[in-house]
């Protein structure tokens, strides 16, 4: 138990944090203004950006290019927030799941997936999710709150700091660390639209992950798709489709009642793609629900005219789920029909199943010590 002086010091520290500016919450322009207000030369902005987003400094005192005096002076006005690592689990296949604590005591999960020369980080955009997809464990949590832009981007900074680079070495002479980002963790990114757009600018411009290596996956908030194209850097788009009829999709993904398949695919048709760019359609295969030959033929018809590829994801069962995983043979037959229909269809290896890190299995489970 801290004594009186301990409490005084703690409350002084807390009030300082409450009044101080979190540098990670500032856009590049806002950081420029902050630097100017402190009477500092312009080059300090570049220095701060470099140390925060590329060298993952956890406090102003770690920025050794600032003199001790300047570190102290800036620390009176500002601080650098950090996610707190609460748990780290490693799967047999090398996938890692991080449980990060937020400043208000909530927690989120991010999953790091090594694959040949790529190191993909699957990040969360909300604490929980309101979309209620029936095959998804996150959906059972409900929505607790939206993540702030810096909490979204900080998952990458924190993961990079945790990795001892280079794992694996980058093919293209980079510095090691996360190479690809997918918004497929907890939450529906387009339901936290403004914060996700801001985070996308941070990710692509400040952390410097290419927009062509960044993928946003949505359950189908159709009207937000053109808005995303207009306001965010043009990232890859993935659609969690999972059904070929409105009847089935209404049941497994309630969002479909508001934005049915046709409306969703119309929005996809208008999404601007780079030359040879494709929209990814995720298709979680549920035994006896959406895995018939007829579904495969319908899928070909639905996606006609959309440059696309299909990721088939055999369902990852979890305790209490009403769905089952189709047999491997069924998945292969389904893929065969799509391939014969001239579609690119990949069976996604489910990574990290033994640590509940696979698609649809994230639930910010508290660590058991
Ligand atoms: S699949 Fe995605 S959108 Fe649906 S409940 Fe899970 S986290 Fe939310």
Kindly report, residue by residue over 300-348, the tens digit of the pLDDT. Answer: 999 999 999 999 999 988 888 899 999 999 999 999 999 999 999 999 8
Atom of ligand 1 nearest to the CA of 187: 7
User: What pLDDT, on the 0 to 100 scale, is given for residue 168?
Assistant: 40
User: What pLDDT, on the 0 to 100 scale, is given for residue 319?
Assistant: 84
Averages of pLDDT over runs of 10 residues in the chain (369 residues) are 51 62 96 97 96 94 96 96 96 93 95 91 96 90 96 97 57 66 96 98 96 96 98 97 98 97 98 92 97 98 97 89 95 98 91 67 52
Determine if ligand 1 sits within 6 Å of the CB of residue 133.
Answer: yes
> How many angstroms is it from 63 CA to the middle of ligand 1?
39
Q: Which two tokens stand for residue 195?
A: 């914060």
Three-state secondary structure readout of the chain: CCCHHHHHHHHHHHHHHHHCEEHHHCCHHHHHHHHHHCCCCCHHHHHHHHHHHHCCCCCHHHCCCCCHHHHHHHHCCEECCCCEEEEEEECCCCCEEEEEECCCCCEEEEEEEEECCEEEEECCCEEECCCCCCCCCHHHHCEEEECCHHHHHHHHHHHHHHCCCCCCCCCCCCCCCCCEEEECCCCCHHHHHHHHHHHHHHHHHHCCCCHHHEEEEECCCCCHHHHHHHHCCCCEEEEECCCCCHHHHHHHCCHHHHCCHHHHHHHHHCCCCCCCCCEEEEEEECCCCCCCHHHHHHHHHHHCCCCEEEEEEECCCCCCCCCCCCCHHHHHHHHHHHHHCCCEEEECCCCCHHHCCCCCCCCCCCCCC
User: What pLDDT, on the 0 to 100 scale, is given for residue 172?
Assistant: 35
Q: pTM higher than 0.75 for the full model?
A: yes
> Distance between CA 287 and CA 291 in Å, rounded?
6
Going by alpha carbons, the residue nearest to atom 4 of ligand 1 is: 133
User: What pLDDT, on the 0 to 100 scale, is given for residue 176?
Assistant: 72
> How many angstroms is it from 185 CA to the middle of ligand 1?
8
Atom of ligand 1 nearest to the CA of 253: 4
Determine if ligand 1 sits within 6 Å of the CB of residue 192.
Answer: no
User: What pLDDT, on the 0 to 100 scale, is given for residue 15?
Assistant: 54
User: What pLDDT, on the 0 to 100 scale, is given for residue 36?
Assistant: 97
């Amino acid at each position: 138990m801290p004594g009186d002086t301990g409490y005084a010091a703690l409350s002084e520290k807390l009030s300082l944090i409450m009044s101080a500016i979190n540098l990670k919450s500032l856009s590049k322009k806002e950081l420029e203004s902050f630097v100017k207000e402190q009477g500092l030369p312009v080059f300090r902005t570049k220095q701060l950006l470099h140390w925060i987003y590329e060298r993952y400094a956890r406090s102003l005192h770690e920025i050794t290019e600032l003199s001790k005096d300047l570190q102290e002076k800036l620390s009176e006005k500002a601080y650098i927030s950090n996610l707190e690592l609460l748990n780290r689990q490693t799967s047999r296949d090398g996938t890692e799941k991080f449980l990060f604590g937020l400043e208000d005591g909530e927690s989120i999960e991010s999953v790091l997936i090594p694959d040949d020369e790529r190191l993909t980080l699957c990040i969360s955009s909300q604490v929980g999710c309101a979309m209620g997809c029936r095959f998804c464990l996150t959906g059972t949590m409900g929505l607790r709150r939206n993540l702030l832009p810096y909490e979204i981007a900080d998952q990458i900074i924190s993961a990079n700091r945790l990795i001892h680079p280079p794992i694996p070495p980058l093919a293209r002479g980079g510095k090691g660390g996360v190479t690809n980002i997918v918004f497929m963790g907890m939450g529906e990114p387009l339901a936290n639209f403004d914060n996700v757009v801001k985070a996308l600018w941070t990710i692509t411009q400040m952390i410097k992950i290419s927009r062509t290596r960044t993928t946003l996956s949505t359950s189908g908030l159709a009207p937000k798709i053109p808005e995303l194209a207009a306001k965010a850097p043009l990232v890859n788009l993935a659609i969690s489709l999972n059904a070929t009829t409105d009847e089935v999709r209404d049941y497994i993904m309630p969002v479909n009642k508001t934005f049915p398949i046709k409306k969703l695919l119309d929005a996809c048709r208008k999404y601007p793609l780079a030359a040879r760019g494709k929209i990814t359609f995720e298709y979680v295969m549920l035994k006896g629900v959406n895995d018939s030959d007829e579904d495969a033929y319908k899928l070909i018809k639905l996606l006609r005219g959309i440059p696309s590829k299909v990721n088939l994801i055999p369902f990852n069962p979890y305790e209490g789920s009403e769905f089952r995983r189709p047999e491997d043979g069924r998945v292969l037959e389904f893929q065969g029909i799509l391939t014969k229909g001239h579609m690119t269809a990949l069976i996604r290896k489910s990574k990290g199943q033994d640590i509940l890190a696979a698609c649809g299995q994230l639930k910010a489970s508290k660590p058991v010590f």
